[in-house]
Structure 1
Amino acid sequence: MLLPILSLFSLTSVAETINLKPGDNVAAIVASAPESTSFVFNSGTYRLQQISPKKGDSFAGPATGVAVLDGAQPISFSPVAGSSPELWQATIGSNPLDTGGCATGHPLCHYTRELFVGSALLMPVASTAQLTSSTWFYDSSNGTAVINFNPGTKSFEIGTTTCAFCGYASNVTIKNLTVERYASPSTTGAVGQAASGTYWTVSNVEGRYNHGGAVQIGANGIVENSYLHHNGQKGLGGGGANLQIVSNELAYNNYDWFDLGWEAGGAKFGDLDTAEILNNYVHDNNGSGLWDDANSVYVHYKGNRIENNTGSGIQHEIGYSAVIENNTINRNGATPRISMWDGQISVQNSTNTTVQNNTIIVASAYGSGLVIVNQDRGYGTYGAHLGAHDTVEKNNVTYEGTDGAGGIMGIASTGIANIIDYNTYNITVGLDKHHFEAFGVKTFQQFQAAGFDVHGKIVWKAAP
């Protein structure tokens, strides 16, 4: 009887745990291991690792200490012969260009490789004449990085590896790791690459100084308790069904100055089908805070704190049914204030959206309040892209100045069945008529006469 039992046991798959240490070829170790292996990183730095997980694999940092996956490699500078004033150069090879729009005045956002001196990032410039102690020039004629200051004993590194965790595997878990300085192209992540894998869980990950995004998550993905900051384009992106984005901090992203209206800032999602975006702290991003686009439906934003981003706070664009509730959204937008763009909450050409019980502050010099935009944006998966059949109610809005806007703008004939009511507006004495819009600028009395905020109210504040 013993032999059959042993034979049965030998056919049973037992999950394996592999401990990793700095200097290991992690990608090769993962490639040779079976599916559903647990990989545990010891403390230290793992440089230039490009890992393709298998189904069911998990990757975890140490119980104590920090494990860092670093996508940059050291480079050395030498004097450029005959240069005056003196220049220094280092061979880096190609500097691939990614796609996407750059903000006006920042045409080099496309360079995927970032140059670091110590822990400081150097920004690219278009010629040696523009060089300063905080910039560098890529000389494409000979594949070199050029600086105009003596490198001395400083440490220089260039981001070269495109992703830390890449590929198509499903049911992958990544936790308690730092991922930094990867040359992730725009719209991709150092973790997740192009979000081709499903059922990924990213937990307690710090993602920083990656060129494109830190994390890109696919269908049935979870991103939780992570700090995604100082990335070149955005902190977080992705799409698909059943996403959970919970208790993360997204901050200081888009240092490369991608066009804010293209895809940049805290987080940008597309084609969501049922998403819970809860209790995140999203602040000081160069772009919108939280933004979903392109036929997203059943999106739930709740309990988020969104502050000081240069675009909209929450932006639900050309989508369908969504609920935006119980968020704190303050001082998003940038000068100059243009019409009702950069709303603290912007429902743009999206139907059946409910915005309720949010607390909002509109800065004195920029941004708008609660905004519905209705334009001709065609048809999508679930019908026309219109600002129609939306409900905005029971929100508390404070205007810090005597300017700012809220209401509904665009084409009146198709912007139908919108309800705006029971909102409270805290306004400094000296109200400007631009606080309200209903297919044209209105005073509050005219706004109510048009059928909006009939039960709403203004709470007047004394001028400072």
Structure 2
Amino acid sequence: MRLLVNRGMTALALMVLASACAGSVDQSTTTSARQPTPPQSTTVVRIPGPLSESVMLSPAMDVERVIASAPAGTAFIFEPGTYRNVSIEPKNSMSFVGQPGATLNGSTVLEGFTQQGSVWILAGINAEGRVQGNCKEVALMCSRPEDVYINSVLSQQIEDANDVGPGTFQLNYDTGVLTVGDDPAGQIVELTTTEFAFFGTASDVTIDGFIIEKYANPAQSGAIQAKSGNTLALRWRIANNDVRFNHGVGIKLGAQNVAEQNRVYANGQLGIGTGPGGFDNIIRDNEVYGNTTIGFLPGFETGGMKLTTQTRLLVERNYVYDNAGPGIWTDIDNIDVTIAENVVENNLGPGIFHEISYRAVIKDNTVTGNGFGWTQWLYGAGILIAHSPDVEVTGNVVRDNRLGIIGIQQDRGTGAYGERELRNLYVHDNIIVASEGSSGIGQDIGSEAVFSEWNNRFESNTYYVNANEYFRWLGKVLDFNTWNSFGNDLEGQTFEIDAFDP
């Protein structure tokens, strides 16, 4: 029996919660974490007054029952090991801390496959989650949240069992037969079966130090889901976690949440997202990479982050790279947004994309090698401001993207704070390095007001470019002198690209 005592106590009232070992719990793990011998019971120390209770948990325990039985304010510490198919709905002021190697795994290990020709089958699968999302033609099953991992390598779900081969699988939802194209002998085969690791609307929750992987969360939902329906959870702190291999979004924030120092990678749809109507959220010091693995359409909330309908949003000091979509995407009625000091590299979509939103400052970011997967019109930019008023773009280094800094105007109607128009765009004191592409403004509404009447301007930027004609204005790509003649960058400079010294 383990006794966990909070510091600073003057009196103790002991409450012992017996927790029978769950014999069916799978302790296998894809990490190298030590597998401890689980305790047979848990001692909870109740501290009189405002201090919370603390509980030590092990993988062999019925973790969900222990947490559900505990009062608000309880602190839980998870010993190393794999907690399989655990789904936690916190109460107010609960904290959850994982010791190194503590892994919440939303999958079930599958055994007993039978070979049939060049494939292997397993009957009796009863798993069918919510269908959600828009898929590419080559990945039409991406909207199904059931994924298969073989030794933590993702297999692609396909429609027809007759087409299954190496690296693919098919799940017949009518018959419950799973067909895989890789020999499962001696391998760990996992099927995602549980929707959320953490979910709900409790306030003041801490989630710190876990590996959170292989949850069957549908598209547009997070493995960590700080909301329920349209109700957002307040003041969650999500820190120091590895959130990976989940079907939909890695982390979905509520309001007044902080996501910091997490690694969020290889999730099927998106790295970090937000619930609608959030406010005062902070996303900082995270590493967000390799997301969008299952074949969702690029315009369907893909990439590193997609953040919607936020007020007073801060995104700072994140490293966002190698995502199959935009790096940082603020879309739909965001206002008072700051995107600062991020490093955004090699994302297939725009590096930083502010779309049909409002007041924002995008400053001091390093944006490199983005946009080459989004070749339609002017969308593949390092920094893209689309149909959004009152945006300042300053102090950024924008280097070797498909396009540099671009503003665009299309007919996108009216939003929560007025017309969705590219007005008062102020692009100044940036460094743009480019061997191709352009920077400037484009429109397809048949009006030149975006150039002449809406107070959009470029000032004091420095360009290192190969092409003499690099500057986009009035439907043309211009040389620097002509660009100046429209009042842009009168204090700006251009140099040959070889002169750039990073």
- State whether TM-score is above 0.5: yes
Given that residues 374 and 414 in structure 1 are in contact (C-alpha distance below 8 angstroms), is that contact kept between their aligned partners in structure 2? no
Partners of 2:130 and 2:363 lie apart in 1 by 40
Given that residues 412 and 420 in structure 2 are in contact (C-alpha distance below 8 angstroms), is that contact kept between their aligned partners in structure 1? yes
Q: Which residue of 1 aligns with 2:179?
A: 146
SS in 1 for 2:65: helix
Partners of 1:395 and 1:23 lie apart in 2 by 55
Given that residues 388 and 414 in structure 1 are in contact (C-alpha distance below 8 angstroms), is that contact kept between their aligned partners in structure 2? no
Moved more, 243-252 or 87-96: 87-96
Shift of 1:128: 2.8
Residue correspondence of structure 1 range 102-251 to structure 2 within 5 A = 102-192=135-225, 194=227, 196-239=232-275, 240-251=278-289
Q: Which residue of 1 aligns with 2:411?
A: 376
AA aligned to 1:309 is: N
AA aligned to 1:457 is: Q
SS in 2 for 1:255: coil
Q: Which residue of 1 aligns with 2:8?
A: none
Given that residues 187 and 194 in structure 1 are in contact (C-alpha distance below 8 angstroms), is that contact kept between their aligned partners in structure 2? no
Structure 1 residues 394 and 14: CA distance shift in structure 2, 3 A: closer
Shift of 1:150: 3.4
* 2:348 is aligned with 1:299: no
Q: Which residue of 2 aligns with 1:446?
A: 482
SS in 2 for 1:443: strand
AA aligned to 2:417 is: Y
* 2:482 is aligned with 1:458: no
* 2:315 is aligned with 1:277: yes
Unaligned runs of 5+ in 1: none
Partners of 2:242 and 2:317 lie apart in 1 by 17
Given that residues 88 and 146 in structure 1 are in contact (C-alpha distance below 8 angstroms), is that contact kept between their aligned partners in structure 2? yes
* 2:52 is aligned with 1:15: yes
Moved more, 416-425 or 193-202: 193-202
* 2:54 is aligned with 1:44: no
Given that residues 339 and 405 in structure 1 are in contact (C-alpha distance below 8 angstroms), is that contact kept between their aligned partners in structure 2? no
Partners of 1:322 and 1:85 lie apart in 2 by 55
Shift of 1:327: 0.3
SS in 2 for 1:30: helix
Structure 1 residues 30 and 336: CA distance shift in structure 2, 3 A: closer
* 2:98 is aligned with 1:61: yes
Residue correspondence of structure 1 range 307-326 to structure 2 within 5 A = 307-326=345-364
Over the aligned positions, Cα root-mean-square deviation in angstroms equals 2.2
Size of the aligned set, in residue pairs, is 446
Shift of 1:165: 0.6
* 2:368 is aligned with 1:347: no
Given that residues 340 and 406 in structure 1 are in contact (C-alpha distance below 8 angstroms), is that contact kept between their aligned partners in structure 2? no
1:196-225 alpha-carbon deviations (Å, 9 max, x no partner): 311111010110000001111111000000
Q: Which residue of 2 aligns with 1:393?
A: 428
Shift of 1:104: 3.8
Shift of 1:452: 2.0
Structure 1 residues 202 and 284: CA distance shift in structure 2, 3 A: same
Partners of 2:420 and 2:213 lie apart in 1 by 38
Given that residues 302 and 325 in structure 1 are in contact (C-alpha distance below 8 angstroms), is that contact kept between their aligned partners in structure 2? yes
SS in 2 for 1:136: strand
Given that residues 448 and 474 in structure 2 are in contact (C-alpha distance below 8 angstroms), is that contact kept between their aligned partners in structure 1? no
* 2:436 is aligned with 1:409: no
Q: Which residue of 1 aligns with 2:31?
A: none
Shift of 1:129: 3.5
Structure 1 residues 336 and 44: CA distance shift in structure 2, 3 A: closer
SS in 1 for 2:280: strand
Structure 1 residues 336 and 112: CA distance shift in structure 2, 3 A: closer
Using the size of structure 2 for normalisation, the TM-score is: 0.85
* 2:62 is aligned with 1:25: yes
SS in 2 for 1:448: helix
AA aligned to 1:47 is: R
Partners of 1:214 and 1:306 lie apart in 2 by 18
Unaligned runs of 5+ in 2: 1-10, 13-45
Residue correspondence of structure 1 range 69-108 to structure 2 within 5 A = 69-79=104-114, 83-85=116-118, 87-108=120-141
Partners of 2:238 and 2:119 lie apart in 1 by 46
* 2:459 is aligned with 1:421: yes
Shift of 1:144: 1.9
Moved more, 437-446 or 162-171: 437-446
AA aligned to 1:436 is: F
AA aligned to 1:232 is: G
Given that residues 352 and 388 in structure 1 are in contact (C-alpha distance below 8 angstroms), is that contact kept between their aligned partners in structure 2? yes
Partners of 2:47 and 2:496 lie apart in 1 by 77
AA aligned to 1:21 is: S
Structure 1 residues 297 and 139: CA distance shift in structure 2, 3 A: same
1:282-329 alpha-carbon deviations (Å, 9 max, x no partner): 000010001111110111011100000000111111111100000000
Given that residues 206 and 238 in structure 2 are in contact (C-alpha distance below 8 angstroms), is that contact kept between their aligned partners in structure 1? yes
Given that residues 169 and 197 in structure 1 are in contact (C-alpha distance below 8 angstroms), is that contact kept between their aligned partners in structure 2? yes
Structure 1 residues 92 and 359: CA distance shift in structure 2, 3 A: same
Shift of 1:177: 0.9
Q: Which residue of 1 aligns with 2:22?
A: none
SS in 2 for 1:105: helix
Partners of 1:106 and 1:39 lie apart in 2 by 40
Moved more, 190-199 or 135-144: 190-199
Structure 1 residues 414 and 461: CA distance shift in structure 2, 3 A: closer
1:254 to 280, 287, 292: 292
Structure 1 residues 248 and 148: CA distance shift in structure 2, 3 A: closer
1:164-212 alpha-carbon deviations (Å, 9 max, x no partner): 1111111111101110000011111111254631111101011000000
